[in-house]
Structures are given as C-alpha cells and as structure tokens.
Amino acid sequence: MIARNTSALVQALDEPVGMTGLSAEDRRTKIRFPIELDLTIRFRTQSIGVAGRTVNISSSGILIRTAWFAPPGKKVTLALAWPQLLDNRVPLCWLVQARVVRAGDGLVAVTIERSEFRTKRVSAASMTG
C-alpha cells in the first residue's frame, strides 16, 4: 500500500502544471522548482571550471545562469553546493553528469543524465565547534 501511495505522489509531482498560454518551446513535462544554488561547470575533457547559479531545477533538467556558452550536445559535469548538511555537520555536493540542450542570453539548459551526492571534506576544527 505504501509503494502505491509513493508512486502516486511521484506521478503527481511530475505532471505539468500551469502550462496554458505557454509556447510549445516553454512547455515542459516536469515541474521546475525555482531553486538558486551556486555551482561549478566542468567540461568532461578539461579540468577548467566555470561558475554559475541555478535558476530552476526539475527531476530531469537544470537551467543555469552563467557567462559560459556551449553548443547543444556538449557533455558537462556540474558540482552544486547542497544547502542541507548531512547529520547537521557534513557539507554535501550534488554532482550531476549532464548534456547541454540549449544555451543563449546568459542561460544554459541541461538535461540530467546521472547524479549523485558526495560529502565534502570537513576540517577537524569545524567538527569540534
């Protein structure tokens, strides 16, 4: 019974909301949440990082505000500073393997291919304080 309720909740969260009056280009199949997080964009073939900030996030993609531009199809790794601490003391980083789907006017839209949370190193001094 719990699995059925959970499935219904996930399905409800993924259904489009408020799409009347939007152009076909602006319609998405997943809800976008206006979450602003700092991030670093890394190119899979280079160790160079570019700063950015999320505009919104859905279960399948992220819209990023950045001065960086990449052509559609470019594969990138995003490292997002997660706002919640693990066990109220360990910082987390959300690593996202993504592909650029569109870019322009200071915005880059990516589709999430794979993601995982990782812990950040914490100094001994911050653990005791």
H or E stretch including 65? strand 61-65
Q: What is the pLDDT of residue 120?
A: 83
Domain boundaries, the chain: 32-120
Per-residue pLDDT tens for 77-123? Answer: 999 999 999 999 999 999 999 999 999 999 999 999 999 999 987 66
Q: Give CA–CA dist 73/66, Å, rounded.
A: 17
Q: Over the range 12-21, which residues count as b (16 or more CB within 10 Å of their CB) and which as e?
A: eeeeeeeeee
Q: Give CA–CA dist 124/17, Å, rounded.
A: 46
The CATH architecture one would assign to domain 32-120 is: Beta Barrel (2.40)
Per-residue pLDDT tens for 27-73? Answer: 556 789 999 999 999 987 777 789 999 999 999 999 999 998 888 99
List phi, psi (to 5°) of 16.
-65, 145
Q: Mean pLDDT, to the nearest integer, of 17-25?
A: 41
Q: What is the pLDDT of residue 128?
A: 53
How buried is residue 75: exposed, middle or buried, by Cβ count under 10 Å (0-12/13-18/19+)? Answer: middle
What is the value of pTM for the model shown? Answer: 0.71
